[in-house]
Structure 1
């Protein structure tokens, strides 16, 4: 079931609304001209763009569906063609007041009647944006995108028009509007916003009983407490002024009864907590938006909770992985330290080997230098020996051929001399006990001497000749030794080393 209700917003002269909660004074609307231009904006495409910039739920493509009328002054309504028509009608009504309006007098009441939700369907193309109290789009905490809600459109435009006609009839003919139909300035049926609705511009002027032909402002009598409007006799509060809240509650009840009587499927009763009040366009939208925002936040919180659970599981898994990685890193560090120690030891060994190599290289260089020095000395010695050999060869050449060793008989004859025969005879005559003679001993001695001299290459002639030839023989012997064996250092130091 839908709900039949209306919202009433009152503007003072100059377009000021009542103070907002928490504010110090009336809130400026700009002027009542601005109120009229907002309501009848579809008369001017440029004005539609201006209002759409303020209200993102206005679908400019649907502005052509809106219908606008103004009071024709003859008990009827005519299609509006300009804002000026509504402004002129307001001016004509103000001109009929006996007491002229002041800045604190209420001049215009805007009434909004929404099409019940059960007479609407969701727009398959467009959505409505959820707005905060400042008219700004609300960003979803769940998706990060602008928060939206289904846009509602009339299921049947003709049905919607009939509903709005019945609502207008109730407001103008059942005492809600002080001046009846004459108090109705303009009407617009809106199909381009979030939900189809009718907006009506009223004044609260009625015939002034004290001044025939003039009007008076009965705003307080209709909407607020007034001393002339009291509870009737028999009522528990008889004689007391009826409050504006009670008046509004009675108006809403009367409207529901009227719409039900006309056959509209709307609720007969409302929640006692909301009885006597109607949220109205802005308050209803605010409450609906707050509900959607709360649902979005709840969904975001639940999603975040689920995500937190996933994150927790991932963190636990990450902790396990971290522990495993920590152990792996520790093992790798241990392995690295082991390898480092081995590398350090190898490096030290290489350093030691490098030092040994350097020492060996130095020793080799020293040995090489020493060998080179020895080779140089050896080459010098060889050169000296070659020079010595040349000297010896010259001496040998000067000495002539070497004498041949004498035969035993020659040596024996030379040794015995002229007395050889006598000595031989004498020696033969001298016999020994063993049967040998002195000659035998002599012969043994002579032969041994001959053999010895022959081995040494010495002659057995005259002493001087023998000594000279013996020296020459020794030189030849020395050359033979030089060709076969190296010379000792002691021999080098003493010179040639022979004949001493």
Structure 2
């Protein structure tokens, strides 16, 4: 039997806090705490609490290696220290915690029956060679650190070899941080570079590598790494198994269905053994009949009964097998229909995402064109300024003439300002003199008229004070 090599990945966003990371550490590193050893089998009946002590828990030592972990807190603290080194503020939508799970291939295991914590009897896979198992998981950790995680070995908080479940597997807790090229000693989030599509990660043609293609490359590299290391694993992925990712509920359902088929096969084997025992007993009875001298009729009856029983057992087994096969075919057909629907939904979702990306690209292109137009106008302005500067430098005679004539112009302006002021003062004086002359002439004419009327100085004064009346006489208005 050739085994399958691969790994499963699960991400958590920064907005979820460190709760998912802590819960995953407690589940994977359960052997470090007696309460978790008791609690986890209640959540997952495949866990055998009696075997949890065989699990191997390792934490990053910060020196390029791993050392045995003594508590959950060691693994949690290492992750907190890594997050504190991130220079920029982390976006809540960014993936910051990644859990990677890799199972030991079935080709490196032997099956055995066991009773789960819920009482069901199932098959579990036990490693054939413990040293080979350790070598396989060590190779898996090295590959993930070298080829997948941009933060390298430092990005792995710790890992645990779970040997107390159905299949031996490793659970690795890591982050998406990597060294920040702009800030020495600090980190940055590189989730898109590793697991998504990013402009920094391109193919031979300079195009950004899509997330799915990147993941297929990781899995293909993992299979090749394990195959080249001498493990009996397949190089090419099964397109049916790898066409989509089953949810945890679907995976459990499939596993239970497979285990039920295994139970049915075991029961049929027991029935086969029972049938063989009855066949042997019939043969013994037939031999005894011959020895004791049974009649030919009794012997024929025994043979006919044997044939009839065989035929009935064969037909019953055949009908049961056909019914089981039909039931299994229907289940497979339903699963294929479900997979096709899920694939269509994925295609529709991808088409919608492509349309959104196209619209976003158009908006970005519009902004880019506007920015280029502004840049062009700015460049033209710079060229005009540079041409003016060169023109001044290339014609020093004009500039020198301007500098030479400027003091003369300044003197002429000041002389003009002084003469204008003097002219203004002379004009004001002339206007004032004319006004006073006109006033004196008017007063003189008034006095002459009053004298002609026989008025003296005192009388004129009183007349003005009394409003123009004296001894019942009034000045004619026409005289004024």
TM norm structure 1:
0.50
CA distance in 1 between partners of 2:212 and 2:244 (Å): 7
CA distance in 2 between partners of 1:280 and 1:286 (Å): 10
The answer for the alignment partner of 2:48 in structure 1 is: 59
Name the larger-Rg structure: 1
CA distance in 1 between partners of 2:201 and 2:151 (Å): 17
Do 1:97 and 1:216's aligned partners in 2 also have CA atoms closer than 8 Å? yes
Do 2:196 and 2:211's aligned partners in 1 also have CA atoms closer than 8 Å? yes
The answer for the alignment partner of 1:98 in structure 2 is: 87
**Superposed displacement of residue 254, structure 1:** 0.3
Do 1:11 and 1:106's aligned partners in 2 also have CA atoms closer than 8 Å? yes
Task: Give the alignment of 1:322-333 within 5 angstroms.
Answer: none
The answer for the alignment partner of 1:107 in structure 2 is: 96
The answer for the alignment partner of 1:327 in structure 2 is: none
The answer for the alignment partner of 2:5 in structure 1 is: 4
CA distance 1:275–1:54, shift in 2 (3 Å): closer
CA distance in 2 between partners of 1:193 and 1:2 (Å): 18
Structure 1 vs Structure 2 CA RMSD: 3.2
Quick check: 281-290 or 71-80, which moved more? 281-290
CA distance 1:280–1:117, shift in 2 (3 Å): farther
CA distance 1:94–1:252, shift in 2 (3 Å): same
Q: Cα deviations across residues 62-105 of structure 1 (Å, max 9, x unaligned)?
A: 00100001000011101000011011100010011012334322
CA distance in 2 between partners of 1:90 and 1:285 (Å): 30
The answer for the alignment partner of 1:171 in structure 2 is: 144
Instruction: Name the SS of the counterpart of 1:246 in structure 2.
Output: helix
Q: Cα deviations across residues 359-390 of structure 1 (Å, max 9, x unaligned)?
A: xxxxxxxxxxxxxxxxxxxxxxxxxxxxxxxx
**Superposed displacement of residue 15, structure 1:** 4.8
Q: Cα deviations across residues 321-354 of structure 1 (Å, max 9, x unaligned)?
A: xxxxxxxxxxxxxxxxxxxxxxxxxxxxxxxxxx
Do 2:156 and 2:174's aligned partners in 1 also have CA atoms closer than 8 Å? yes
CA distance in 2 between partners of 1:108 and 1:53 (Å): 26
The answer for the alignment partner of 1:44 in structure 2 is: 33
Q: Cα deviations across residues 45-68 of structure 1 (Å, max 9, x unaligned)?
A: 111111111011110100010000
Note if 1:258 corresponds to 2:225: yes
**Superposed displacement of residue 161, structure 1:** 0.9
Instruction: Name the SS of the counterpart of 1:268 in structure 2.
Output: coil
CA distance 1:171–1:286, shift in 2 (3 Å): farther
The answer for the alignment partner of 1:193 in structure 2 is: 165
CA distance in 2 between partners of 1:153 and 1:14 (Å): 39
Q: Cα deviations across residues 120-140 of structure 1 (Å, max 9, x unaligned)?
A: 11235x2458xxxxxxx7xxx
Task: Give the alignment of 1:209-228 within 5 angstroms.
Answer: 209-228=181-200
Task: Give the alignment of 1:152-163 within 5 angstroms.
Answer: 152-163=125-136
Q: Cα deviations across residues 158-192 of structure 1 (Å, max 9, x unaligned)?
A: 22111100111111122x01111111110101100
CA distance 1:278–1:31, shift in 2 (3 Å): closer
In the comparison of the two structures, how many residue pairs are matched? 273
Task: Give the alignment of 1:262-273 within 5 angstroms.
Answer: 262-273=229-240
Note if 1:86 corresponds to 2:75: yes
CA distance 1:253–1:106, shift in 2 (3 Å): same
Note if 1:70 corresponds to 2:59: yes
CA distance in 1 between partners of 2:163 and 2:264 (Å): 30
Stretches of structure 1 that go unaligned for 5 or more consecutive residues are 17-28, 130-136, 138-145, 310-500
Q: Cα deviations across residues 223-273 of structure 1 (Å, max 9, x unaligned)?
A: 12223333321xxxx62x322211111101001111111111111112233
**Superposed displacement of residue 222, structure 1:** 0.7
CA distance in 2 between partners of 1:270 and 1:282 (Å): 23
The answer for the alignment partner of 2:379 in structure 1 is: none
Query: Given the alignment, which residue of 248, 254, 263 partners 2:215?
Result: 248
